[in-house]
Each structure stands twice: as structure tokens, then as C-alpha cells.
Amino acid sequence: MQGFLIHFQKKAINKSIYNYNLTMKFLNYFLIIGVVFSFTLGLFSCSDDDPAPIPVVSTIFSDLDADYAPFEPITGPPTGPPKRIGETNEFTFFSFATGEIVANTDSATSNWDIGFRRSEIIFNSGANGPGNTTALMLEDIFDEVLEAPADGYASDTDNENVISSSPQNTGAPANYWWFNSGSGSSTVVAPIAGRVIVVKTSQNRYAKMEILSYYKGAPAAPDNMADEDRHYTFRYVYQPNDTRKFE
């Protein structure tokens, strides 16, 4: 009888040890799964919450053709303003997001942000396009404009564009980008220093730009009789991220 009890006790003890080992094995198994799940979730959380920002760079675009056409030679007494041979009267469209010219066939889309024709500058909104691109002019130093303003942007209208195409006169509002550095009879289009155009695109992204030259090759001292006009050279910074900062 005593031997039977000892055998029964040993069997009970072995069963308890077995159950304990089995329980610990399951606990370790679930612990490993929990650690792996938490690590994986952490990776996805970091990826979603803290995406790497796209670099912001300053770019110069040279010699954008804004409907250049040479003057027609005068063979007799002038009868009016000189005519241009091959003038198309069309805008050249540009996208800050791509940094490229947009085909004129896309004029009825939101693929472009800004358009150039002669000294006229338009934006893709209001009277000039189907997009929601708005803009404003700042009197500031390009490199010191570190953040786009929160408000103050406007669309082009039927009566007036955000940026004037005329030369600035004394007392004129600060939406003019050029002045005549030549004479009344020999106009030279010269960008006004300290004029920064800030653009809010249809995609709610921001860009700042400064016009550097209106003549092909960006000559330091343009000769309006020798240098081809209607060729914009400008520098710009486009912010592709969801912020108004240009850094």
C-alpha cells in the first residue's frame, strides 16, 4: 500500500512538472509573438508618422521663351508700332513641381502654375486658368524669404493680373516686376531688385521666384537692338512638402 502511494505521488508530481513546462512553453511562445508584433508595428508607425522630407533646392531656369519674335525690318516711314515676325500671342506655361515647361495644349488643366507672354505674367486661376494657383508680390530679399506668407494671395481677374505687365512708375503699387532702364523711345526691360513673387499652387504647395533677366543669355547690360528679348531667366525655390518654409 505504501509503495502504491509513493508511486501515485511521483506520478502526480511528474504531471505537475509537465503541465508547468507546457504552460511556460506557451507563455514564451506568446511573448515572442508579442515582441515581433510590437517591433513591426513600431516600424510602420515610424514610416507613417515621420516620412523623410523631400529636399528643397534653389533652381535657375534660363531663357524661357515668352513668345519671342524678331522685329519686321522697316523699309519706309513707320506707320505704327513695329511688328514682330512669327509672333504667336500665346503664353509659355511652367510648372514649379516638375521644373519644366508645360505644353500649351494643357492650358485648360491645372498642370501649370505660371505663364509668360512678353512682359505679362499670369497664374492658373481666376480669369486665366481653371486651377487654384494664387500669388503675391513681396518687397524683400530672395534669400531672406524663409517662409511663405500665410495669407494675402490673389487670383488674376479680368481687369488686373496679380503681377502687372507694365513698367513701374513713381508711386505705383508694388506689384510691378520691371522698370525701363533705357529711354522712352528705346525701352530696356530691367527687373526691379528686391521683388519676390510667392506662389501658392493648386496642390497647396509654395514657391518663391525672382526674375533675373528678360533677355536671352541674361546679359549684364542688355542691348535692346542686339539682344533677343522675351527670354525670362529666373530663380525659384519650390517646397514639395506640406509646409510654408523654404528651408
Write out pLDDT tens, residues 178-216: 999 998 778 999 999 999 999 999 999 999 999 999 999
pLDDT over 80 at 84, yes or no: yes
pLDDT over 70 at 49, yes or no: no
The answer to whether residue 246 sits within a structural domain is no
Show which of 50, 67, 85 is a domain's final residue: 50
Q: Which is it for the CA torsion 18, 21, 25, 31, positive or negative?
A: positive
The answer to whether residue 24 sits within a structural domain is yes
The answer to whether residue 244 sits within a structural domain is no
Average pLDDT over residues 69-87: 82
Predicted local distance difference test score (pLDDT) of residue 13: 45
Show which of 26, 50, 74 is a domain's final residue: 50
18 and 139, same domain (yes or no): no
As a whole number of angstroms, the distance between CA 66 and CA 140 comes to 25
Q: Which stretches of 75-194 are assigned E, i.e. beta strand?
A: 92-95, 100-102, 114-117, 120-123, 134-139, 178-180, 189-191
**According to the 3-state scheme, what is the secondary structure of 187-235?**
CCEEECCCEEEEEECCCCCEEEEEEEECCCCCCCCCCCCCCCCCEEEEE
Predicted local distance difference test score (pLDDT) of residue 85: 92
pLDDT over 90 at 155, yes or no: yes
Average pLDDT over residues 40-61: 69
Average pLDDT over residues 35-57: 59
Predicted local distance difference test score (pLDDT) of residue 122: 98
46 and 62, same domain (yes or no): no
Contact 185/118 with Cβ under 8 angstroms? no
pLDDT over 60 at 31, yes or no: no
Number of domains present in the structure of the chain: 2
**Cross-strand bridge partners of residue 99:** none
Share of the chain above pLDDT 70, in %: 77
Average pLDDT over residues 57-84: 87
pLDDT over 60 at 25, yes or no: no
Predicted local distance difference test score (pLDDT) of residue 230: 98
Pick the more confident residue, 28 or 66: 66
Query: Considering the chain, what is the average pLDDT of its residues?
Result: 84
18 and 80, same domain (yes or no): no
The answer to whether residue 235 sits within a structural domain is yes
Pick the more confident residue, 76 or 163: 163
Supply the DSSP symbol for 62: E
Average pLDDT over residues 133-141: 97
* pLDDT level of residue 39 (50, 70, 90 thresholds): very low
The answer to whether residue 103 sits within a structural domain is yes
The answer to whether residue 245 sits within a structural domain is no
93 and 160, same domain (yes or no): yes
80 and 174, same domain (yes or no): yes
Question: pLDDT tens, 112-129?
Answer: 999 999 999 999 999 999
37 and 143, same domain (yes or no): no
The answer to whether residue 46 sits within a structural domain is yes
Domain assignment of residue 45, given as a range: 1-50
Q: Which of 77-86, 99-108, 132-141, 236-245 has the lowest mean pLDDT?
A: 77-86
Predicted local distance difference test score (pLDDT) of residue 7: 46
Predicted local distance difference test score (pLDDT) of residue 16: 53
Show which of 13, 34, 50 is a domain's final residue: 50
The answer to whether residue 247 sits within a structural domain is no
20 and 69, same domain (yes or no): no
184 and 212, same domain (yes or no): yes
96 and 210, same domain (yes or no): yes
Predicted local distance difference test score (pLDDT) of residue 218: 98
45 and 111, same domain (yes or no): no
Predicted local distance difference test score (pLDDT) of residue 56: 92
89 and 206, same domain (yes or no): yes
- List all residues 6 or more positions away from 196 whose beta carbon is below 8 Å from its beta carbon: 137, 138, 139, 140, 141, 142, 145, 208, 209, 210
